[in-house]
Structure 1
């Protein structure tokens, strides 16, 4: 099974969109567009483009979901390559993953602490030890966004790594379609419990409890399995015009799901 370079490119683009989205949100905490001006054709076009940019930029947070899908795909692909050569040594697998994640995560903390260009809105206290461990779900309201709000993703990711041997075994046993349906059922059931039945802080649904994002991660795993079985067909659909057309049709419909649902942010 070959490594998909376009998958790495897509992950990189998703990260860039997330970075841009945070820049966009920060800018509009202090700035705003000029008042609409429809007096002339040129002024109207400028107003229209500004509004369109504003609306499209506001959707940038969806790149997080895309990155979760791509992460599930990449992790499934790399682990399947190892499994094809024999039984996976999960102890070594955990060691390799954690050694890949934590040093860069700790380096990000170091940059935050020594950089003169950071805006520090919170004091450095005992919470930094939980942050360094990635355990930002402990006392979640005080720790989830501590120091750098974007670091919540690390907390979710290490949970997925913890669960992954079970997810991998289930996916291989059930097959991609059945596994995806079961994972979606579990993920949406957990969301329903935390949002409706036993309402909790929305940070748990955002990623504090990784099972809430299992549908996205499992979709990536299923896509990875389908791609390994029929790579030409899957990549022709995703990278060709049909995949783009499907996305254009489904995305506006999916946005309607936001209306009338329980908010958690």
Structure 2
């Protein structure tokens, strides 16, 4: 799923926060969710309420996140299977014997996985992909990583468009991807797309070198980030961290 597709433009206070502030906030929030004990059910509920508050301020509807959170369906299936495949001890729930450890393990995957996906979607929805790369650069992430990410964002749409043109050409020549015996043609098309992308990358790199490419992208001027920005951006993550600390202390 492309980051540009996940971005939802807006002019809310969350959208206007500097990208590096939101990156740090999302990182702290995910760490807090992961470190929360699985038995602290109330803490996960508070974390979800914090996310709902952020969505309300950002002006992004809940349904927008719900549709895109379907990417975690495989993990949900695994979480639903664990109560029936876990070991002893067992307990009866509505006349069905389920494993206590398996149920807690499934709940742990479901709660933390869902919250992690929702935090990531919130960051992507309120921050333009190129702003994310700029924020990483301002957080002193190694330049080679930010350069790779920036070029990937710049050319992923080109590769997607190339794949669509190749599929259209195959369909015009009688290819029907709905049939199993057409899998060979699809595999060859994927291989050809890889070769074309590699060749395009070589041409782009040579063009960059001929224009004086020095190995790093120019960084735009960075506006000052005030203490208010940091307080507003980190506050939701601090609530998650406090819930994690309290749950670790009490469980």
Same-fold call, TM cutoff 0.5:
no
Structure with greater contact order relative to length (CA < 8 Å, sep ≥ 6): 2
Scaled to the shorter chain, the TM-score interval is: under 0.3
